[in-house]
Amino acid sequence: MAKTQNQPLEFERPLLELEAKLEEMRALRGDEPSADLNEAIGKLESRFHELRQSIYKNLTRWQRVQIARHPMRPYSLDHISAWTDGFQELHGDRLFGDDPAMVAGLTTFKGGRYGYKDRTVAIVGQQKGRDTKMRKYRRFGMSNPEGYRKALRVMRMAAKFGKPVICLLDTPGAFPGLEAEERGQAEAIARNLFEMARLPVPIVVVVIGEGASGGALGIGVGDRILMMENAWYSVISPESCSSILWRSWDYKEEAARGLKLTAPDLQPLGIIDDIIAEPLGGAHHDPESAFSATGKAVAKALAELDGIAPDVLLEQRLQKFDAMGVFESVDTPEEDVVSGS
Amino acid sequence: MAWFRRTKAGINTELNDQIDVPKGHWIKCKECASTVNRRELQRNLLVCSECGYHFPMSGMEYYRLLFDDAEFEVFDTNLVSQDPLEFTDRKPYPKRLAEAHRKTGLTDAATGAMGKIGGHPTSITAMDFKFIGGSMGSVVGEVISRAIKRAYTQETPLVIITQSGGARMMEGALSLMQLAKTSAHLTRLHDKGLPLIVVLANPTTGGVTASYAMLGDIHLAEPGALIGFAGPRVIRETMGQDLPEGFQRSEFLKEKGFVDQIVSRAEMKSRISQLLDLLLEPAAG
């Protein structure tokens, strides 16, 4: 049985308490085995399993947000080193500088092990840091304009050499700084949306953690949008939504619920294509199986996109995003109405 | 083909519906605090005669201002959000929509229109800040996309007038996807060699700025408009210091290289018309 990892989340505490009790009883049994103790341990074990299932199978949206932000969750570079080989990171946007909050490069996707094939791909991804120093260096995964422009430079290079692009989304948003605004944060994101809509090679997008707002979407236009089971993706973070709509920071759980920001919410809306199942409790409980599920999903997406002519691919990409939106036409009786085709 | 069309020449909207201030003969300018006569303000295209402050103007007023002889056909005034997320904050989203509809007579924060500018058949789509802060949800994304499609199927230039606080939170990720949807349609306009002129009005922030507002061949901004991605309050909190004077205003954007020209409302029509003459020269023959 996998031990509940360190750095538990608030809602995992009851599990941890039960686990500690179990450990204690097992230690006791080691000293003086008895049938009574065996029975008690057996009961507690089954209670532990039941609780584990009931917590992890009924995660609330806010709990999923917490899992997506877990400090031990696999980040872009972890995925890259798990299911690709020989990653050559490429730095800089050739205009201003390099952005450590965005990584980009060329690598060999190890598709062969997932029944596809090994092949060169370009990868761009938002990157968070693991400890205090690295978190600051990676700017908490919040890109500046040069990050988006670096990603675009590498994606264009992929198009030049006919290589597919894989985008890994994991950001709490674009960096809201003075200099980011001066250098055109909005223009950088807008340019990527435009250019990605016409990039003539397959693009597979995977939301691996947090997908917040235009900052995430800035590398999020593609032919297949995959999302890990406990990732979240929306127009705004639950905290900021709470602050703006409720004028208080205290409604983040309600905001998370209202925004319908989880993978199971977004699939029926046509915003994502596939959900990548995670190990019980989240990817950080068993990173290896999370990596293999992700690699497999990427392989499947790439295989589906193989051999589609670029103009067909781009038309399908346009239609995919054109279909996103829910609205109705109402008749306005006082107007002369001509029906649409 | 449009879902429905209206061929009335121009639409007269009462000025009282235009300005978000108490009714009366006199209006206090938000910028210079001077008192201006309502009728005078209307004659002056809702621009303060003392300081040049541009009051918010509705999409319909922009159409009347920009199209030759104020003649145009309006599109897509009948699309309504379906509240896909069943969103409720302090108020249910449908209630907010109904209130905004009552206040503005609009079904959402953007409309489309076709007419001529300086003789050039042109598709315009204008946003309306008064409808839930000009926020972009599924309907705005669809209205803007249809205006782009009208331009590239009828081979006309496109003018987009932006005024928006950003994406509409009450439609969650669907709102976010409107950035990608509209930007994707703009690639088709681009590939046909057709011009996009963006007119940035006050304010243009958030998701709208991070999509079509920054994808024009030419960016014209009204004077003093707030234009940016992150809001000033958020940036102030991030930086932990006060922002410089004029930060994220049209003049600042021009200095930083993201706006081509600052054009007052009075000159907007002639400027767009001159630019279209230059860009469409061979076609105009």
Q: What is the CATH number of the domain that holds B210?
A: 3.90.226.10
Domain annotation covers residue B9: no
Per-residue confidence at A31, pLDDT binned at 50, 70, 90? confident
Find the CB nearest B172 among A185, A220, A234: A234
**A166 and A19 co-located in one domain:** no
Kindly state whether residues A111 and A40 are assigned to the same domain: no
Nearest to A271 among B177, B185, B209 (CB): B177
Q: Which amino acid is at B117?
A: I
- As a whole-number percent, the residues of chain A with pLDDT over 90 amount to 91
B223: in domain: yes
Q: Determine the pLDDT at residue A332.
A: 63
Average pLDDT score, chain B: 91
- Picking from B174, B191, B256 by the largest number of A CB atoms within 10 A of its own CB, the best residue to mutate is B174
Q: Is A337 on the interface with B (CB under 8 A)?
A: yes
User: In terms of domains, do B143 and B228 share one?
Assistant: yes
- For the segment B128-178, what is each residue's pLDDT rounded down to a tens digit? 999 999 999 999 999 999 999 999 999 999 999 999 999 999 999 999 999
Instruction: Give me the residue label for tokens 């705005």.
Output: B140
Nearest residue of chain B to residue A221 (CA atoms): B180
Q: What is the pLDDT of residue A1?
A: 40
Residue A341 lies in a domain: no
Q: Which of A148, A211, A154 minimizes the C-alpha distance to A184?
A: A148
Q: What is the mean pLDDT of residues B70-96?
A: 96
Q: Domain count for chain A, please give it.
A: 2
Pick the closest to residue A67 from A5, A22, A24, A119 (CA basis). Answer: A5
Residues A44 and A142 in one domain: no
Cross-chain Cβ contact A338/B4 below 8 Å: yes
A180 Cβ under 8 Å from any chain B Cβ: yes
Geometric angle at alpha carbon A54, from A50 and A57, rounded to 5°: 130
Residue B139 lies in a domain: yes
- For residue B2, being part of any structural domain is answered with no
Does residue A215 sit within a domain?
yes
Dist. CA B73–CA B71, nearest whole Å:
7
- Closest residue of B to A174, CA-based? B230
- What was the pLDDT predicted at A331? 77
Whether residue B7 is contained in a domain is answered as no
Q: Are residues A119 and A262 in the same domain?
A: yes
**Contacts of B226 by beta carbon, 8 Å cutoff, 6+ apart:** B202, B203, B204, B205, B232, B248, B249
CATH code where residue A292 lies: 3.90.226.10
Report residue A121's pLDDT band, with 50, 70 and 90 as the boundaries: very high
To the nearest whole percent, how much of chain B has pLDDT over 70? Answer: 91
Buried b (16+ CB within 10 A) or exposed e, B123-141: bbbbbbbbbbbbbbbbbbb
**Does a cis peptide bond (omega within 30 degrees of 0) precede residue B203?**
yes
Please check whether residues A211 and A293 belong to one and the same domain.
yes
Contacts of residue A327 in chain B, CB cutoff 8 Å?
79-82, 138-139, 142
Same structural domain for residues B43 and B130?
no
Of the candidates B1, B78, B180, the beta carbon closest to that of A332 is on B78
B179/B93 same-domain check: yes
Look at B209 and A234 and tell me if their CB atoms are within 8 Å: no
Question: A263 and A284: one domain?
Answer: yes
Are the beta carbons of B145 and A322 separated by less than 8 Å?
A: yes
Whole-model pTM? Answer: 0.94
- Per the CB < 8 A criterion, the answer to whether B134 and B175 are in contact is no
Q: What is the domain extent for residue B33?
A: 16-55
Q: Name the closest residue on chain B to residue A233, using Cα atoms.
A: B173
Same domain, A123 and A234: yes
Query: Which residues constitute the domain of residue A228?
Result: 70-322
Note the pLDDT tens digit of each residue in A4-24: 456 899 999 999 999 999 999
pLDDT tens column, A196-242: 999 999 999 999 999 999 999 999 999 999 999 999 999 999 999 99
- Asked if A324 and B239 come within 8 Å (Cβ–Cβ), the reply is no
Whether B284 is covered by a domain: the verdict is no
* Pair B40, B172 in one domain: no
| Residue A53 shares a structural domain with residue A74 | no
Residue of A nearest to B248 (CA): A181
Distance from CA of A9 to the nearest CA of B (A): 26
Give domain status of residue A333, yes or no: no
Size of interface A-B (CB pairs under 8 A): 222
Query: A87 with A42, same domain?
Result: no
- Cβ–Cβ under 8 Å, residues B53 and B32: yes
Nearest alpha carbon to residue A64 among A329, A275, A306, A309: A275
Query: What pLDDT does residue A336 have?
Result: 42
| Chain A positions in Cβ-Cβ contact with residue B110 (cut-off 8 Å) | none
My answer on whether B25 and B111 are in the same domain is no
Is A152 within the bounds of a domain? Answer: yes
Task: Note whether A213 contacts B176, CB cutoff 8 Å.
Answer: yes
Measured between CA atoms, the residue of chain A closest to residue B168 is A235
